[in-house]
Amino acid sequence: MKFEAVLTVAQSKRLIAQGVRQHPVVKAAFNNGVIGVCRGTTTSYVAEEFLDHSLPPFSYTTGLTLPKSPVPTITKPDKVVHDLIVRKGEIHTDGETVIDAVANMNPGDVIVKGANALNYRDGVAGCLVGHPKGGTVGGFWGPLFGRKLRLVIPIGLEKEISGDILELANMSMEENAGNALMPMTGIIITEIEALEILTGVEAHHFASGGIRGAEGAVRLLIIGNQEQTAKAKSLLASLEDEQGY
């Protein structure tokens, strides 16, 4: 059985976050290890899935890409939400950062970090880096390999780009006053993987875009048996009211 589904950016983020929460590697670390959820828009949704409640808008984000005109109103959160760290099922937001937590992580523990660009077929994501010390990625990249941690990268298919991230990373380093693009590899979870994890269906990205709130939307062709597709339709229906920021 086949059917089509269109997901807005906000709906995709919620779906991906649910997929991250149920990924076997994440579930194993939740029960027996440590998970650090980095800050960002998509990872805000991931944090909410662990907390089982919504967060104040913009309370778990870092840099934001916004239109220059008209400049949207950004409501500053009433309180700071600290990085979310999970240790053997216990959730902490007491001020310890992901970078702090990484220093004591062990093989199999998980870092969840969003990205800004995606080469889906190559399994490569890219993260914009503007901080001279490399930002969050720069803080955990060495220990990620030295401690043999798992990097989970939740990212929407809207961020698929035409250029090669490895080539663009080199280009962004030369005579560029703006951001560098840092390649990242790990467990990439898009709408495709999330739907498979949550319902067992096979999903294919075959169109993008829209207007009046559907800018950046992705159109998916979803394939599965009757039980799988029914489950997928029910899941997607539950996302219909997701408005995002």
Per-residue pLDDT of the chain (245 residues; tens, 9 = 90+): 999 999 999 999 999 999 999 999 999 999 999 999 999 999 999 999 999 999 988 888 887 787 887 878 877 777 778 999 999 999 999 989 999 999 999 999 999 999 999 999 999 999 999 887 878 888 899 999 999 999 999 999 999 999 999 999 999 998 878 889 999 999 999 999 999 999 999 999 999 999 988 999 999 999 999 999 999 999 999 999 998 77
Domain membership of residue 206 (yes or no) is no
Domain membership of residue 198 (yes or no) is no
Q: State how many domains the chain has.
A: 1
Reported as type and span, the H/E element at residue 50 is helix 41-51
Q: Are 114 and 152 in contact (CB under 8 A)?
A: no
Between strands 124-129 and 117-119, the pairing is antiparallel
Q: Are 221 and 37 in contact (CB under 8 A)?
A: no
Domain membership of residue 222 (yes or no) is no
Collapsing DSSP to helix, strand or coil, 104 comes out as coil
Collapsing DSSP to helix, strand or coil, 32 comes out as helix
- Structural domain including 164 reads 13-191
